[in-house]
Amino acid sequence: MSVLIFAELDEGKIRKSSQEAIFYGAQVAEKLGTQATAIVIGQADDSELASAGRFGAGKVLHAADAKLNEPNGMAYATAVAAAAQQEGSKVIVLAKSSLADAMTARLAGKLKAGLAANVIELPDLSNGFRVKSSIYTGKAFAYNDLKADVKILAIKKNTVSPVESEATAPVEAFNPSLSDADFVISVKSTEKASGDVLLPEADLVVSAGRGLKGPENWGIVEELANTLHAATACSKPVSDLDWRPHSEHVGQTGLKISPNLYIACGISGAIQHLAGVNSSKVIVVINKDPDAPFFKSADYGIVGDVFDVLPRLTKAVKAL
């Protein structure tokens, strides 16, 4: 028996959120007195697959069927279910993502498993199997007692801070049995957000709203983001006005993110925007209106004009 962790790939590399999932899964395995096994689906070289060992995986199952190169929630759920059955896994861990959301309910149905999403702590095994989840866009917590024989945990980004070792994991080929029914939904194309740092994976995010007054002024936001090696984001009105691409929209109807640092520039802080960012570990708000609602949710606030503050902040970061 082992704890099985689904490790998601991005252009042949294990995503940072999946590295966190592997580390989390390895800790769960230690509590249960067993080992952690990662399953990776898609094309990746052996050294990248073996790197899962640095985060605690005892071995890696690699499903390299060409039909699985494009992420497909139905087919991936079948593959992970087959791996769980082969390994006798009673706990399955994966990082919450758009692909995971498409997989988890199907996976739970196939395995008759209990499912907890947005998990933010290691399970409490003192009286059964209890996990803590973030709910209502981070405004509250739920404690889930999972009583099914098989348990699926979809962990929230930044739930753990992985500690890397020098270990590598042996890689085994894995060939799940797939049918035409697994591909009744097919992926025709994938459009990825541009930029050096992808927003859903970013630890640092610089975001801006209508306080920037127009798309021509976004250079000061991008310069700060580049200096910090951060991703850029925006409020819904900004994307609606086509000042920025919709892939950068964070909020209730956009992306939900959980970076270590979120810097909001010229954003008033409507509740719809907060719903997408209030899981950030640290929120810094820059706004010339001292009564902007966002300040109530900020860890740090700067009352000032973004056109004055951002260049000075960028200069200070460069000096460091």
User: What is the domain-level CATH number for residue 45?
Assistant: 3.40.50.620
Could you report the per-residue pLDDT of 155-187, keeping only the tens digit for each? 998 888 899 999 999 999 999 999 989 888 877
Q: Is residue 153 part of a domain?
A: yes
* Structural domain harbouring 249: 199-319
pLDDT digits (tens, 9 = 90+) for 251-275: 988 988 889 999 999 999 999 999 9
H or E, element range at 208: strand 204-208
Q: What is the pLDDT of residue 198?
A: 76
Measured between alpha carbons, how far is residue 146 from residues 6, 130, 245, 254, 313 in Å? 19, 6, 40, 30, 47
Does pTM surpass 0.85? no
Position 243 in a domain: yes
Q: Which of 128, 151, 183 is the last residue of a domain?
A: 183
Low-confidence residues of the chain: pLDDT under 70: 190-196
Residue 196: what pLDDT? 61
- The residues, any chain, with a CB within 8 Å of residue 186's CB and separated by 6 or more, are 70, 72
* Domain assignment present for 125: yes
* Residues 254 and 226 placed together within one structural domain of the fold: yes
Identify whether 269 is part of a domain.
yes
Give the whole-angstrom CA distance, residue 26 versus residue 164: 12
Q: What CA–CA distance (Å, rounded) separates 105 from 109?
A: 6
Rounded CA separation 157/280 (Å): 10
**Orientation of helix 219-228 relative to helix 306-319, angle to 10°:** 20
Residue pair 313/218 in contact (Cβ under 8 Å)? The answer is no
DSSP 3-state assignment of 154? Answer: strand
In this structure, the answer to whether residues 267 and 161 fall within a common structural domain is: no
Q: Are 173 and 217 found together in one domain?
A: no
